[in-house]
Amino acid sequence: MTATPPIPDETTLARLRRASTPSIATLLHRRGLRNQYIQGVHRLGDQPRMVGPAFTLRYIPAREDLDVVEAFRDPTHPQRVAVETAPEGHVLVMDCRRDASAASLGSILFTRLEVRGCAGVVTDGGVRDAEPIASMATPCFAASPCAPTNLSKHHAVDINVPIGCGGAPVYPGDVIVGDGDGVMVIPAHLAAEIAEEAAGMEAFEDFVLEEVRAGRSVIGTYPPNAETLERFEAFKRGEYAPGQVFQKRVPA
Amino acid sequence: MTATPPIPDETTLARLRRASTPSIATLLHRRGLRNQYIQGVHRLGDQPRMVGPAFTLRYIPAREDLDVVEAFRDPTHPQRVAVETAPEGHVLVMDCRRDASAASLGSILFTRLEVRGCAGVVTDGGVRDAEPIASMATPCFAASPCAPTNLSKHHAVDINVPIGCGGAPVYPGDVIVGDGDGVMVIPAHLAAEIAEEAAGMEAFEDFVLEEVRAGRSVIGTYPPNAETLERFEAFKRGEYAPGQVFQKRVPA
Amino acid sequence: MTATPPIPDETTLARLRRASTPSIATLLHRRGLRNQYIQGVHRLGDQPRMVGPAFTLRYIPAREDLDVVEAFRDPTHPQRVAVETAPEGHVLVMDCRRDASAASLGSILFTRLEVRGCAGVVTDGGVRDAEPIASMATPCFAASPCAPTNLSKHHAVDINVPIGCGGAPVYPGDVIVGDGDGVMVIPAHLAAEIAEEAAGMEAFEDFVLEEVRAGRSVIGTYPPNAETLERFEAFKRGEYAPGQVFQKRVPA
Amino acid sequence: MTATPPIPDETTLARLRRASTPSIATLLHRRGLRNQYIQGVHRLGDQPRMVGPAFTLRYIPAREDLDVVEAFRDPTHPQRVAVETAPEGHVLVMDCRRDASAASLGSILFTRLEVRGCAGVVTDGGVRDAEPIASMATPCFAASPCAPTNLSKHHAVDINVPIGCGGAPVYPGDVIVGDGDGVMVIPAHLAAEIAEEAAGMEAFEDFVLEEVRAGRSVIGTYPPNAETLERFEAFKRGEYAPGQVFQKRVPA
Amino acid sequence: MTATPPIPDETTLARLRRASTPSIATLLHRRGLRNQYIQGVHRLGDQPRMVGPAFTLRYIPAREDLDVVEAFRDPTHPQRVAVETAPEGHVLVMDCRRDASAASLGSILFTRLEVRGCAGVVTDGGVRDAEPIASMATPCFAASPCAPTNLSKHHAVDINVPIGCGGAPVYPGDVIVGDGDGVMVIPAHLAAEIAEEAAGMEAFEDFVLEEVRAGRSVIGTYPPNAETLERFEAFKRGEYAPGQVFQKRVPA
Amino acid sequence: MTATPPIPDETTLARLRRASTPSIATLLHRRGLRNQYIQGVHRLGDQPRMVGPAFTLRYIPAREDLDVVEAFRDPTHPQRVAVETAPEGHVLVMDCRRDASAASLGSILFTRLEVRGCAGVVTDGGVRDAEPIASMATPCFAASPCAPTNLSKHHAVDINVPIGCGGAPVYPGDVIVGDGDGVMVIPAHLAAEIAEEAAGMEAFEDFVLEEVRAGRSVIGTYPPNAETLERFEAFKRGEYAPGQVFQKRVPA
């Protein structure tokens, strides 16, 4: 197990709680990172945005003589240990090799994670007890509900090592953000700057959306030409509202 | 870009707004057309039935040196042009090669399409900002919500050419119908006759459903034998209601 | 067609109506049965748990000259016969070779099954009229909503023979249980004992969930060590509630 | 088990031994049959064309308590019975639900089929001992070599019933033809006429190939216009050879 | 149809005929192009390396009323026109949407392409008559042999437009290189520089291979440290052979 | 990195070099191990059977800022270190998450492994330079040839930890056996007993094959009844040859 890196500062986390995953995807794309989206998972309920550093758990395929119900009696079983040691505010991210034919965990372990202050769970495998989990306060992203125990397909083997999840690389401490469009993985060293840029981006996109609702063409507006940028500056100063005639400010 | 064919007449469109996609699928099957269903897409919200002629946009796989964020500054970028030129009442259908690992569009472009009077959107790729889009009045059918920008996987290349979407052929001007069972593609030259037949078919199936609720066997009823057809005629004349004893009309 | 085996006794059925599919999966796993989950299907609505013996229908790929709309006029067409003969309280399970590109049935046949007292429907193909079906009282599990008629891909060929459904073996008379986590297949000869064990398991897991909510670690609790078992016994006697300090009973 | 239909007459079989699977596919396509190709299987060795009526074996997913090595001690085990009863000259076609993760059979059963005069084997599952089988005289078409016993995934359940194989419908007695391009299924009632037409088609395509080698454009040649047909008639009379100047015969 | 760009100069083509596809992949990767490999196709025979500019053909899904055998009688049918107009020395690249369940072409069209001097064929669909094609002098890369006519799944629609093939973007005039490891797509503007660098890369890798055969560790050798580069320079001057003791040249 | 377990004794290795992977699969199946076959890989050449303990390398998905060509200059890069430290006689098994769209290694690293005495290579990803590798003496099993560098998809992260490969669990030191039917993974503690049983099994199956060639039915022979076992004993004593009339030995 690698040492867990420090949690990003509260400003960064707060900004990311207001940032959509599409904005983050675009900002990472600008830096040449095109593969930081966890493919094939969705949120089970309608909780608010999930934000937190990754704490990882790696599974390999099960072997019938090792993966018996009695295995959980071992107090060092990595799945149980992960559930008891994932730090508060972290997101537990599990590598199930994109195999959703068996669960990663169920409502008892999920409840324990919630009680311990975990910020959320992501798995590219299945989740059992999906309906009770969907109704809880903590967000859970999974490939699918399913009934079979993880033992039937998955053998927990490593805690907090770099993993793949839904085709994306996840390093312990990477900042995980999840919402209705899925889950993005922000490399730890980029979290603060992505968070900062995302704030401005969201403000601009809210403005553009109002402009478009008021009848603007997207061409020249999104991405903006010089005049659109002027309108946006005027809007921020309270001198312009979308739909109004825009009077360019003439220097005195 | 091929010339956009004329919109079907209002009678046809109105009839199709009352026709379910299963009825349309059966009527096309009767004509030997077994592959007009767009596989793997579903409606994001619970809007009413979507009906309109197809306006198409074709994507090929992205190339890293071409598909950069700056590409959208080009006012002739096909995706932006499609959003600004898709005619009122049309459905924008996008060929993303069934790859939902990146979005086709997000809420800003979708809002512009709604403002411009577009009848709906279909893509066999992903859609970002899926939650706000699901809550809008215009229906959107996609393979999946997802966060990544279309640039990471999709390069818009052609407007209003014949495309494949979800494994079905879509020619510009084909009439697109979408509901809770997905999306059907009606070849343009068949739209009027399918619309007309569908009206009768829906009426008959509503009657059969009442008969079955009242205890009829499906055998002899669906498809109908001669007596069922007589009951249906009597029902239309107001002389019979499902569940009643049926008194065959004896010619005077 | 094999003779339909007798329905399990009412005690067993009643117990299974209180048993979750994850509990059943774990109990079957303990017996070395790791493949009794029907992969890739989900419940269309939010009906209560589905329980009943399997009545099966097998489809093979369609052939264009045989699978024409007129085929349904044959009163011995296996799909129609299955709908009219599936015994009350049984679950109709259909083998569509995991191909959801065409429907297995629609709302008329589904309504007939409901009227006839069928306990539910499972198909690893598609279902058309998915929205009306989702709003009915009888549960329906399918791979996906879809519009095309079964004739376009599926040819009904056999009634009540052993089949595969979603990758699991299903023998006529196996007991089918479905809920929000999907569908389990209990071999007929194990139904009574699984039902009995599940009752105890659910009670224990409810207790554990309360313990975890009250702050217990899962290690030592789930699976239980000796002390946890003592607390559980005390809990059943009304002498302990989760969250309380546990006073081990000292023999007088 | 359905009665095995009579073997096609020797003329038909002989003609089909000279007919390529692409020609047969085209002739079936002309009759509206677009799905008679067994997808995803290939010939393990380089034996000559395989022709014979289908004798079928159906597998469902294995169940761990039933599919144990001892199961083969049962002299009525359907796989063993199929191997001992498939009639001489027939092709054993197996439905393994397109799951090649376990074998359908290995070299001992395959050798028994060869000794008994079987015309070949087709499976959409795997085959073990693929190298020795590839070197035998009887052709074997499979999805893949693989090592696991059929018991680990496949349970033999029915002999000589209609099945799906590689996505195509196969009825007992359908005529199976296999070569380097894979396997076609000819519905029994069409075998004689397809065989007859194929003979003419092959002769014409051989002629066209010579014409193209000699420099002809495919346009006007394939499919043929009137002049090409005249050249072909002249060729058959020995009055023209591809590459020569063609002198149209003038009626005396 | 876009105008076909000029063929790369003969020096570039000659260099690429000596360059392996892995070397080209690495050189493109260095430029940030990670997706120029056509996934899922392989060479049918063992012809030498294929090199030439891309001439493209785009297919969409077939529609039963349009894609009948008679369609080929139309002298403007895009597939036939492509075969008659693909320029000498070009590679015909076909977009079949990665659907290998039907052929793109067979031996007659392939022979015509060979007679016309085509440098090769690539399709992400199937190819019929695969055995005769494999034995010809012109290389053919396809997803799979198969028997069905292209009409059953593919409708040829566009000539020489940008396409996707095997998940890679292909623009007309891009330089296509194929060998035993598959097919790479070199953007036209990079062909000359990639060709030049590849020559040096191949020479160095041949040297490294000899060093490794003679017992060198890959660490320090591949990629090379300063000493390895010195050995390589000495090797090129004929002053060192792999396996010899290396005497560093001391400046006089 | 876990310590590499001791190599199995030479008797075990020698026996396994005569054991087919199907026999090993059956023997593991008898012990309840149904998932020890590495799915989806095949041998590139026609080398003899591969046998050796597993030395593992784990990859996760690549990240564009980390997985640049310069990464290989790091002498501690896990892929390079694995190639330099895999012990003589071991099989290098690589977990590429069943993603064959990029290579695991090419001919230079493979040659180094051969020089160092490695017993073979298995990867569930691709391999570049597949043709030269196929012609070498050391066996290589891969999902597919391919051109792209591992950097484009795979990031080497861990050496000699438990991994999944082709869906099977592989623990360092497990004994790997590969032949024309693919690759089996024997848990280390079972290697000796499997090797011993396999020897007897192969001898019996050779005998059965001769019996079947000589006309025996498989029923009663495979699996054997009492008389077949007597014939086998007589055969081993040289008192019976397949095809002869069997004279049961009467006790004196």
Q: Which ipTM did the prediction report? A: 0.95
Name the interface residues of C facing D (CB cutoff 8 Å). Answer: 31-36, 60-65, 97-98, 155, 157-158, 161-164, 167-170, 187
Among the partner residues D80, D107, D152, nearest to F34 by beta-carbon distance? D152
Say if residue F245 is exposed, middle or buried (CB neighbours under 10 Å; 0-12, 13-18, 19+).
exposed
CB-based contacts of A175: which residues, under 8 Å, 6+ apart?
A8, A12, A16, A51, A52, A53, A54, A185, A186, A188, A191
- State pLDDT tens for residues A151-203: 999 999 999 999 999 999 999 999 999 999 999 999 999 999 999 999 999 99
Per-residue pLDDT tens over the stretch A105-121: 999 999 999 999 999 99
**Region for E82 from its dihedrals, namely left if φ exceeds 0, alpha if ψ lies in -120 to 50, beta otherwise:** alpha
Written in H, E and C, the secondary structure of E138-166 is CCEEECEECCCCHHHCEEEEEECCCEEEC
C-alpha distance from B102 to closest chain A C-alpha (Å): 9
If residue F54 lies in a helix (H) or strand (E), which one and from where to where? strand F50-61
* Per-residue pLDDT, E243: 87
Mean pLDDT of chain A: 95
Query: Which pLDDT band holds residue A20 (cuts at 50, 70, 90)?
Result: very high
pLDDT at C247: 78
B/e letters for E141-167, b = 16+ CB within 10 Å, e = fewer, are: bbbbbbbbbbbbbbbbbbbbbbbbbbb
pLDDT at C31 over 60: yes
* Residue A148, pLDDT above cutoff 50: yes
Give tens-digit pLDDT for D93-128.
Answer: 999 999 999 999 999 999 999 999 999 999 999 999
The pLDDT tens digits for D182-239 are 999 999 999 999 999 999 999 999 999 999 999 999 999 999 999 999 999 999 999 9
Full pLDDT tens readout for chain F, 252 residues:
455 567 799 999 999 999 999 999 999 999 999 999 999 999 999 999 999 999 999 999 999 999 999 999 999 999 999 999 999 999 999 999 999 999 999 999 999 999 999 999 999 999 999 999 999 999 999 999 999 999 999 999 999 999 999 999 999 999 999 999 999 999 999 999 999 999 999 999 999 999 999 999 999 999 999 999 999 999 999 999 998 888 776 665
**Between chains, do F131 and E181 touch, taking CB under 8 Å as contact?**
yes
| Among F154, F147, F197, F167, residue whose Cα is nearest residue F62 | F154
Could C112 and B30 be called an inter-chain contact, meaning their C-beta atoms sit closer than 8 Å?
no
Q: Is the pTM above the cut of 0.95?
A: yes
Whole-angstrom distance, CA of residue A213 vs CA of residue A210: 5
Query: What pLDDT, in 10s, does the model give residues D137-147?
Result: 999 999 999 99
> How far is C148 from B48, CA to CA, in rounded Å?
20
Chain C residues bordering chain B (beta-carbon distance below 8 Å):
64, 69, 72-73, 75, 80-81, 83-84, 101, 103, 106-109, 111-112, 115, 128-131, 144-149, 151-152
CB contact under 8 A, F60 and A35: no
Q: CB distance E29–F111 less than 8 Å?
A: no
CB within 8 Å: D148 and F29:
yes
pLDDT at B252: 57
**Which H or E run includes C139?**
none
pLDDT average per 10 residues of sequence, chain B (252 residues): 70 97 98 98 97 98 95 93 97 98 97 98 98 98 98 97 98 98 98 96 96 96 95 96 83 60
User: Amino acid identity, residue C128?
Assistant: R
Contact (CB, 8 A) for E151 and E125 = no
Q: Which two tokens stand for residue A48?
A: 């608010």
Distance from CA of B32 to the nearest CA of C (A): 9
Q: Long-range contacts of range E133-139, CB-CB < 8 Å, 24 or more positions apart?
A: E133/E44, E133/E45, E133/E106, E133/E107, E134/E44, E134/E45, E135/E45, E136/E45, E136/E47, E136/E110, E136/E111, E137/E47, E138/E47, E138/E110, E138/E113, E138/E114, E139/E43, E139/E44, E139/E45, E139/E47, E139/E48, E139/E50, E139/E178
Best mutation site among F39, F63, F171 for testing chain A: the one with the most A CBs within 10 Å?
Answer: F63
From the list F26, F39, F208, the residue facing D69 with the nearest CB is F26
Using CB atoms, which residue from B72, B115, B128 is nearest to A22? B128
The pLDDT, as a whole number, for residue C1 is 46
Which residues from chain C sit within 8 angstroms of residue A107, using beta carbons?
Answer: 209
Cα distance between residue F169 and residue F188, in whole Å: 12
- B231-B235-B237 Cα angle (round to 5): 120
Instruction: Name the residue facing B63 among E60, E62, E169 (closest C-beta).
Output: E169
- A214 contact partners, CB below 8 Å, separation of at least 6: A242, A243
CA angle D72, D76, D82 (to 5 degrees): 90
Does F32 contact A65 at a Cβ distance shorter than 8 Å? yes
Interface contact flag, C157 D157, Cβ < 8 Å: no
* pLDDT for residue E3 is more than 70: no
Helices B191-213 and B226-236, interaxial angle, to 10°?
100
Whether the CB-CB separation of D57 and D92 falls below 8 Å is answered with yes
Question: In chain E, which residue ranges form alpha helices assigned H by DSSP?
Answer: 10-17, 21-30, 78-85, 107-115, 130-134, 191-213, 226-236
User: How many Å separate Cα C136 from the centre of its chain?
Assistant: 17
d(CA D210, CA D242): 6
- 3-class DSSP state of A209: helix
Partners of residue B34 in chain C, C-beta under 8 Å = 64, 148, 152
Instruction: For residue B238, give how far its alpha carbon lies from the nearest alpha carbon of chain C (Å).
Output: 22
State the Cα–Cα distance between residues C129 and C139, nearest whole angstrom: 14
Nearest Cα to Cα of residue D195 among D181, D177, D183:
D177
Residue B179 in tokens: 């509901």
Other CB atoms within 10 A of residue C164 CB: 25
Question: How near does any CA of chain E get to the CA of F211, in Å?
Answer: 36
Beta carbons within 8 Å of B238's beta carbon, 6+ residues apart: none
Question: Over the stretch A69-101, which tens digit does the pLDDT of each residue have?
Answer: 999 999 999 999 999 999 999 999 999 999 999
**B23 closest CA partner among B206, B198, B232:** B198
Q: How confident is the model at residue D246 (pLDDT cuts 50, 70, 90)?
A: confident
Residue A7 banded pLDDT, cuts 50, 70, 90: confident
Q: Are the C-beta atoms of D87 and D4 separated by less than 8 Å?
A: yes
Measured CA distances, E170 to D102, E91, E103, E122, E173 (Å):
38, 11, 20, 11, 8
**What was the pLDDT predicted at B243?**
87
| Distance to chain A for F175, nearest Cα, Å | 15
Output the DSSP codes for chain D: -PPPPPPPPHHHHHHHHT--HHHHHHHHHHTT----EETT-EESS----EEEEEEEEEEEE--TTT-SGGGGGSTT-HHHHHHHHSPTT-EEEEE-TT-TTSBS--HHHHHHHHHTT--EEEESSEESSHHHHHTSSS-EEESEE--S-GGGTEEEEEESS-EEETTEEE-TTPEEEEETTEEEEE-GGGHHHHHHHHHHHHHHHHHHHHHHHTT--STTTTTT-HHHHHHHHHHHTTS--TTSPP-PPPP-
Measuring CA to CA, which residue among D77, D80, D76, D75 is closest to residue D92?
A: D80
Residue from B52, B55, B45 nearest B16 by CA: B52
pLDDT at A251 (0 to 100)? 63
Structure tokens at E44: 């049918």
Q: How far apart are CA B3 and CA B5, in angstroms?
A: 6
Question: F186 with F171: CB under 8 angstroms?
Answer: no
The pLDDT assigned to E251 comes to 63
Determine whether the interchain pair F37/D103 forms a contact, defined as Cβ–Cβ distance below 8 Å. Answer: no
Q: Which of E32, E34, E164 sits opposite B60 (nearest CB)?
A: E164
Chain F positions touching chain A (beta carbons under 8 Å):
31-36, 60-65, 97-98, 155, 157-158, 161-164, 167-170, 187
Amino acid (one-letter) located at D223: P
Nearest to E145 among D25, D181, D215 (CB): D181
Q: Nearest by CB to E108, from D37, D184, D222: name it.
A: D222
| pLDDT tens per residue across span F215-241 | 999 999 999 999 999 999 999 999 999
Q: Indicate yes or no: CB of B147 within 8 angstroms of CB of A217.
A: no
Given an 8 Å threshold on Cβ–Cβ distance, is E180 in contact with F101?
A: no
CA distance F165 to chain A (A): 9
Q: Among C108, C133, C150, C155, which would you mutate to test the B interface (most chain B Cβ atoms within 10 Å of its Cβ)?
A: C108
Of D33, D63, D162, the CB nearest to C33: D63
Contact C164 D64 (CB under 8 A): no
Q: Which of B112, B133, B144 to mutate to test the interface with A (most CBs of A within 10 A)?
A: B112
Amino acid identity for residue A61 in this structure: P
